[in-house]
Chains A and B, each alone.
Chain A
Amino acid sequence: MSASMLRFASRRTVSIYNSSIPKALNTTIRCIATSPVKTLTETKSSFPDHKFSYEKACRQALVDNTLTNKSDTLDFGAYQRTFKLTISEEEASKIPSILALHARLNLSKNYQYSTLVRSLTCQTADSDYADNLQMSLFGAHLLSYYVTEHLIATYPRLPVSILRNATEAYIGDYSLYDVAKNVWGIEADSTSNLEKYLAKEPRLFRFGRLRFSSHTTEVEKGITKIGSTSELAITKATAFSNAVRAIVSGLYAHDGEEATKEFIKNHILSRKIDVGKMFQFRSPGKMLVKLLKAQKMEAPTIRLISETGRNSSSPVFIVGCFSGEHMLAEGQGSSLKEARIRSLVDALKAFYLYRPLDPKASSDKDFKPLFVDAGETFY
């Protein structure tokens, strides 16, 4: 394989040749294969990672040297990280943005201001303050459970791949970034120490903003400096989403699980996502035939229901997709082929997006046994 060929090879293709290529050369190939900016902003991984951002958040690992004890002990109460400083409740209650955030989220009196401060503090190399790393980890567990539970109860036939995509749409990094920035109004601490000094801002006020080591810094409007020497640098979306996750876990610590569930329902699950648009069928006809066969139903037939202007420039055909005498779905289009494909896709979606009346999640008080689907047929 020549160098010019390698330049255009995708990451996936290159990984096939990994065993035969020396380690040093292998690293070079990865750099060539990705965008030049990406290599500057992202840490190179030894193997490709196909996890969703919410899955990565659930599997964050703690580096051993940040602990004062052994990391394999099962006495979980004895764990202690190497924090030295924290913002007290009294100090936190003097920060206007923290008070505003507390009120905006309608948090209870039990929820301490200092917990909000910690939720906005990401792990950085030069800080001794208690950070939100592990709080965000637990928040990710809470969020992923309640969102999965909601989706399984609402759409019991959703294929696993779509289920994961839908969960990502609810609690992925970019979704939570949007919640944190545009709904909750959390601000990043992007001003320099000089600007803070000139603005005569009290030192404490910076703890009311989200602080993290960023891959990029905006030097001035329109100019972004790329590159960070810190290993703990994270993207803006990850930092904001971790803050949301940490706030959720803070709620669990202060108000209990029931209040947390209600909070997730109000702030995360209340956001509408279009699950139907996540489906992409390559050959809907074949898939529907397989599906109906698995369901022991008759093979699909397409019948023309009505048409208008067949010979005109804008004809409209309405067809129905039938299994025996049952109409599964209706499709319309400017050609018979388009109408047929639409009806097939709608028939598949009608099956996979089946929704029980008044769905109840397994943690609800008036829970009823859920409908368990057999799983999507893939062969």
Chain B
Amino acid sequence: MQNLIRSFNQSTTYIGRRNVLLSIQQQRTVVFARGERVRGLIRDPEDILTVNGHRYGVTPENLKPIKTYLESANVPPLDDSLLLQVITHKSFAHGSQPYNARLAVFGEELIQLKASKYALSQETKNQFAVGGKNFDCLGSYGHRMLFTDLVLSSFAQTKGFADIFFCRVSAPITFKNPAEFKPKKMYSTLTTSLVGAIASQHGKKVAEEFIEREVLPTVLTTVKSIASSKSTKGSEEKK
């Protein structure tokens, strides 16, 4: 633990219109704690605003991973402050900085809808289809997996824009390597809020194209591998 001592001086003020100067000199010492948490001590604000060596702010270094990905994915440009909001979780700095919760809610709804529309768009010979749409596939394991936190967080990590994520996680005591603890519920907000940001700035159509072009192919591959490992496990257990 490293302690940091800072002093504060209260400024002088004029009272009313009279030329009376009231000067209060007051000095107090605040001890900030850095590193591991110390009960009863105030954490250094600089420490709160830094995650894995990255200081919070609109800087080229912070936005590099997400910007690189968006350029490679041919997504129309988004504002830097909005991108920083996308990579900030509400757990970061006690929610004092703009965070991605509302964008994530919006994006999640759109991903859910688009995944269902994708499932319905497949050609079918089912006699119980309605208007050529096979509703029988909805609610199945395969369909529900398309928009789970597991696959959406995996997408963010595969594409590399989860490298810098301003969040505060507390790994379970039993977890061997706390630095690698990445809760899927938290990391999935990276994908959902990115979709929400695209939808809110460029419209639903552009966001849906992004989901269809970028998110769904990766998600389908992930779901396939999960399903195959599940069936392998099942057959081994039977044996």
Contact = CB atoms under 8 A, between A and B. Distances in A.
Question: Taking each of B95, B100, B106, B125, which has the highest tally of chain A beta carbons within 10 Å of its own beta carbon?
Answer: B106
Contacts of B124: 76-79
A17 interface: no
Interface of A: 58-62, 64, 67, 71-81, 83, 86, 110, 112, 115, 118, 130, 133-135, 137-138, 141-142, 144-145, 148-149, 152, 158, 160, 163-164, 249-250, 252-254, 294, 362-363, 367, 369-370, 372-375, 377-379
Nearest to B133: A253
Most buried by A among B85, B109, B140: B140
A86 B122 contact: no
Given A74-B220, A160-B105, A79 B134 contact: yes
A118 B227 CA distance: 31
B203 A375 contact: no
Contact of B200 (A74, A79, A137, A152): A152
17 contacts: A60-B139, A67-B140, A72-B231, A74-B223, A76-B120, A76-B122, A78-B124, A79-B124, A81-B128, A83-B128, A112-B131, A134-B136, A138-B116, A138-B120, A253-B135, A363-B205, A375-B98
A374 B99 contact: yes
B151 interface: no
A75 to B, nearest CB: 7
Which of A133, A152, A158 is most buried by chain B, counting CB atoms within 10 A of its CB?
A152
Contacts of B164: none
Contacts of A362: 199-200, 203-204, 207
A369 B113 CA distance: 21
A73 B82 CA distance: 37
Interface residue tally on B, bucketed by range:
35 or more
B142 A73 contact: yes
Given A144-B109, A148-B109, A134 B139 contact: yes
Contacts of A73: 142, 227
B96 A294 contact: yes
A342 B130 CA distance: 53
Interface string B67-96: 000000000000000100100001000111
Max chain B Cβ within 10 angstroms of own Cβ: one of A115, A362, A370: A362
A340 B80 CA distance: 40
Contacts, number: 165
Given A75-B122, A77-B137, A152-B200, 6 more contacts: A64-B141, A76-B118, A76-B120, A112-B131, A118-B130, A375-B100
Contacts of A145: 109-110, 112-113
A163 B112 contact: no
Interface of B is mostly: helix
A373 B85 CA distance: 10
Interface string B204-232: 11010000000000001001100100110
A375 B99 contact: yes
B204 A62 contact: no
B132 interface: yes
B128 A130 contact: yes
Contacts of B231: 72
Given A145-B113, A369-B200, A135 B139 contact: no
Which 5 pairs from chain A and chain B are nearest by CB? A253-B131, A374-B98, A79-B137, A62-B139, A77-B122
Nearest to A78: B124
Nearest to B100: A375
Contacts of B224: 74
B122 A374 contact: no
Contacts of A78: 124
B101 to A, nearest CB: 5
Given A145-B113, A249-B135, A362-B207, A370 B102 contact: no
A254 B131 contact: yes
B55 interface: no
Contact of B82 (A142, A372, A378): A372
A260 to B, nearest CB: 11
A316 to B, nearest CB: 32
A377 B95 contact: yes
A64 B143 CA distance: 13
Contacts of B205: 363
B158 interface: no
